[in-house]
Chain A
Amino acid sequence: MASKLTQSNGAGWAFALPGFGLIAIFIVLPFFFAFALSLTNQRLISPNPTEFVGFENYRDLMGLAVITLEPERDADGNAIRDEDGEIAYPRVRTITRSDDFPEYRGMREWFRWQSGENARVVIAADVVFMKALRNTLLFVLVVAPVQATIALGLALLINQKIRGINIFRTIYFMPVVVSIVVVSLLWRFIYDGSDGLLNNILAGLTFGLFEPRDWLGETSTALGAIMAMSVWQGVGFHMVIWLSGLQTISPTLYEAAEIEGANKRQIFRYVTWPGLRNTAVLVLIVITMQAFALFAQVDVMTQGGPLDSTQSLVFQTVDRGYRKQDISGGSVISVVLFLIVLCISLLQRWLTRDR
């Protein structure tokens, strides 16, 4: 096998060369650049020479520590409580900005939990990155299965021989063709807090009972709103991939199943689904990778806010590398993102391997 691929196959390699060459120049090479830059203090523009700083950028990005806050106590040693009965703690800044704890300098509270009377606080060197990481993972976890399932449902619906089915195919595919920036702008109007379309529809359906919400302006709904919009935008693309998979399944299998007396559910379970195996692997991996690249929606709709509830890794990469002129900071995040996506893709390949 190997010999056939590598030897006396000059024409084949020549045909592959443009593709390989472009990938090498625009994807492989920049990745190695990014890795090299992540070990330096490279700026976008600066008269200062670039210096090698080792893994300092990685430490600044991923430094984590847990500190314990003891309650403030009165003279009898009882914890002081405020009017709501909550225990009063000293502020985290009394530790992170104190000269007694130089190791915590520049760190900030990420989240905390209660343990007995004490509060355990997780402080991070880069809280924004941590939140971006969490949001991105959450985004992938929700969007990948939901988008894949809805896309499969749509593909099954439009995989029928009915008059005018192409109209439906076109409608479902339309959002994919429209630029994501335009789609994001339109959805900003839909989600508008005062007189947006979504608020109006919900108010109409509930006869005015629904209180209008500022979908993109509240921390509890902003990420969910972006997820819903992203699923809607991307679902048509994956629908087409599923459809192509559906159409490779031989009609004779369906005929045989019907003759055997299988019902619709059984046909899907034992004919359609096994026939879609390779398509499923492809769809899942593609959606996962696309979801990790979440950027334009955030850039146009929320800029990462409110309160970092919609930060994403790629948005932070661009924000640091370009807008804050810190190429090394952006490179570190892209290297981390690459490693995460690589691990997940390998895991997916392993889980869906041919047994």
Chain B
Amino acid sequence: MRHATLAGLLLAGTALGTAAAAQTEVSLWYHGAGNRGEAETLDRIVTDFNAAQGDWTIVVESFPQASYNDSVVAAALAGNLPCVIDVDGPVMPNWAWSGYMQPLPIDEARIADFLPGTKGYWDGQLYSIGLWDAAVALVTRESTLETLGLRRPTLDAPWTGEEFMAALEAAQASGEYDYALDLGMAWTGEWYPYAFSPLLQSFGGDIVDRSSYQTAEGALNSDAAIEFGEWWQSLFADGLAPGTSQDPADRDSGFNEGRYAFAWNGNWAATATLAAVEDAVFLPAPDFGNGNIIGAASWQFGVSATCAHPEGAAAFIEFALNDEYLAAFSDTTGLIPATPSAAALTENYREGGALEVFFELSNQQALVRPVSPGYVVAAKVFEKALSDIANGADVADALDAAVDEIDSDIERNGGYGH
């Protein structure tokens, strides 16, 4: 009996509390379910925001990253989108074009000092903004560089393609490693276009022709792209890198255990590497002739088209852009905070921090993936072409096939609104 009464009182209390505050609920979907640190940081921001003002209450729902995009698409088809959505940078144009998102009503001055990769523009308007960016680096050990007698590349003087290949061959010849280079072939999905299309761009090719976004012909099957493909295939044919059947566990621990000399990996894995490998160093991407480039844009926040209270959603996003929170996210996830002032607050990206180099990598090297609604399809096609080439397919034929598939998709979508 006493329990029942207590429960009743509590219920009444909650109801009263809600009524008194009169805050309007604004829903938010997030991709980081199962990731405790991330969830705690987000919860902290939400709690702070809900307490700091009286108009809005943010309600968070988290999804596992692997099924997040599917959930959003399904919700959009069913007309059940939340107000604030979390969107992967390169996917944003697709959702904006499809009419799932509305432009983000945030003052441009507020985000003036944000890293370029964190701002999501489509059709000349800002649709999404990221609290962080990600960067990829060539990870190795100080001792590996010394033993193999390699020059230490810098942002201003990166390795050339030849120097890079010489380094890999030296590592292979040393006989100390299972493979010279771990590219992360086990990470199927967005990793392929994110991590590998910058290498293609460094050769002078691209996924699509960015001047018009209407075709991939002459970009993905250009002579430069075929040269990239031949080089890509040689990495696997010569046994320098593990191929598509790499065990994901090897990807996660292979470099840290010393089985790979070099790893092409994102900064989200850098904290674990630093903990395991004392003399880990993070090198900029090699330059194959057309600049040293890495991918930009990570997860960002935007407002759904069906949101009844975009001003509430925008208020929350603007609130979350505080340096304090950018730094908090960076400290838990290892990702790059979006502003220099936030970087100064973090453990890893402040001056002298272990990952400081990534901030400049992201600022100087980063190039966003093709900003087009068709990117989501082109990315899958690109992934398949790279897998096929790695497995020994004829390079020109595989790239031609990818071009045909991308072009027919663009055509069937009426040019994707460019």
Contacts and interface: CB of A to CB of B under 8 A. Distances in A.
B215 to A, nearest CB: 13
Contacts of B391: 217, 219, 305-307
A106 interface: yes
A45 B384 CA distance: 22
Give the interface SS of chain A, mostly helix, strand, loop or mixed: loop
A91 to B, nearest CB: 7
A97 B401 CA distance: 11
B380 A323 contact: yes
Chain A residues touching B, range: 35 or more
Q: Which of A45, A216, A219, A303 has the most CB of B within 10 A?
A: A45
B30 interface: no
B231 interface: no
B377 interface: yes
Contact of A305 (B98, B244, B412): B244
B414 A48 contact: yes
B142 interface: no
B247 A46 contact: no
Given A108-B397, A127-B401, A46 B413 contact: yes
Contact of B98 (A47, A93, A216): A47
B412 A47 contact: no
Interface in A167-204: 192-194
Given A47-B97, A93-B396, A324-B377, A41 B244 contact: no
B98 A306 contact: no
Contacts of B397: 92-93, 108-109
Give the interface SS of chain B, mostly helix, strand, loop or mixed: helix
Contacts of A307: 388, 391-393
B387 A108 contact: no
A108 B401 contact: yes
A129 to B, nearest CB: 12
B412 A41 contact: yes
B413 A43 contact: yes
Contact of B376 (A97, A127, A217, A325): A325
A319 B384 CA distance: 12
A31 B75 CA distance: 23
Contacts of B99: 47
Interface residues of B, number: 35
B257 interface: no
A106 B401 CA distance: 8
Nearest to B393: A307
Given A109-B397, A306-B391, A307-B393, A194 B247 contact: yes
B399 to A, nearest CB: 10
Contact of A45 (B100, B401, B412): B100
Contacts of A41: 412
A44 interface: yes
A17 B41 CA distance: 52
B245 interface: yes
B62 interface: no
A92 B397 CA distance: 9
B279 interface: no
A217 B396 contact: no
A342 B51 CA distance: 62
A14 B270 CA distance: 64
A135 to B, nearest CB: 15
B139 interface: no
B80 interface: no
B147 interface: no
B73 interface: yes
A306 B245 contact: yes
A91 B396 contact: yes
B163 interface: no
Interface string B220-263: 00000000000000000000000111010010000000000000
Contacts of B388: 305-308
Nearest to A53: B412
14 contacts: A43-B412, A43-B413, A45-B100, A47-B98, A47-B99, A47-B417, A48-B413, A93-B396, A93-B397, A303-B188, A305-B391, A306-B391, A307-B388, A323-B380
Instruction: Report the 10 A-B pairs with minimum CB-CB distance, sorted nearest first.
Output: A217-B245, A306-B391, A45-B98, A106-B404, A324-B377, A307-B391, A48-B414, A47-B99, A214-B245, A305-B387
Given A47-B417, A305-B388, 19 more contacts: A43-B412, A45-B73, A45-B76, A45-B77, A46-B98, A47-B97, A93-B400, A106-B404, A108-B400, A109-B397, A127-B401, A194-B247, A214-B245, A303-B188, A303-B387, A307-B388, A308-B388, A324-B377, A325-B376
